[in-house]
Amino acid sequence: MSQAAWLEELSNEECLELLRSRSVGRIGFTVDGFPFVVPVNYRLVEAGGTTPDAWIALRTRPGNVIDQAADDVAFEIDNVDVYHQGGWSVLVRGTLHEIDPDAANIRERFDPQPWIDTERDAWLIIEPFAVTGRRLHGPEIEWAFHVRAYL
């Protein structure tokens, strides 16, 4: 008998570790009353020390749809393993803020390095109010035949 799939909640530290390990995610917000989601390059910016504070930094073109987004946003990264029917996702909900890239050495320390570098001069951070994550453990795969039957 095979084991069924199950969900596991990720700890805050596991979520931060996954956010550190990636550089592309999706930001979601509302445009004209409808959801709008686009991929972006990002970098996790951590306060350091004993505080768990972390922000998502990204750059975009001044005046584009992200730069004009409402304050409340969502940011998501994930990984899906189709073969094993598993995966994980991390969701950051927070407030979007414009920042001055020349203040406190932001440009040197936290540049998310967009893949398209032209005119990406609007610097933004997402200040989280919630960071959550889940991991889906896929079912144990049960084979009808022994693996050597195929060799």
Entry pTM: 0.79
Stretch 3-12: mean pLDDT: 87
* 47 C-beta neighbours (distance < 10 Å), count: 10
Q: Is residue 110 part of a domain?
A: yes
For 12-51, how does the pLDDT look when each residue is reduced to its tens digit (9 = 90+)?
Answer: 999 999 999 999 999 999 988 899 999 998 989 887 654 4
**58 — alpha (psi -120 to 50), left (phi > 0) or beta?**
beta
> According to the model, what pLDDT value does residue 1 have?
45
Q: Per-residue pLDDT for 149 more than 80?
A: no
pLDDT category of residue 141 using cuts at 50, 70 and 90: low
CA angle 68, 71, 77 (to 5 degrees): 90
Which residue(s) pair with 60 in the sheet? 122
Range list of β-strands (E), 22-121: 24-31, 34-41, 43-46, 54-60, 72-81, 86-99
Q: Which residue has the tokens 């970098």?
A: 43
Q: Is residue 1 part of a domain?
A: no
Q: How far apart are CA 40 and CA 5, in angstroms?
A: 31
Q: How far apart are CA 47 and CA 79, in angstroms?
A: 26
Rg (CA), the chain: 19
For 90-130, how does the pLDDT look when each residue is reduced to its tens digit (9 = 90+)?
Answer: 999 999 998 876 665 665 656 556 556 666 667 888 999 99
Q: Per-residue pLDDT for 67 more than 80?
A: no
Identify the CATH number of the domain in which residue 95 sits.
2.30.110.10
Q: Which residue has the tokens 């795969």?
A: 141
The parent domain of residue 110 ranges over 6-150
HSE at residue 66, side-chain half, CA atoms within 13 A, is 25
Q: Looking at the 3D structure of the chain, how many domains does it have?
A: 1
> According to the model, what pLDDT value does residue 139 have?
77
Q: Is residue 85 part of a domain?
A: yes
Q: Which residue has the tokens 């996954």?
A: 18
Q: How far apart are CA 42 and CA 20, in angstroms?
A: 10
Q: Is residue 24 part of a domain?
A: yes
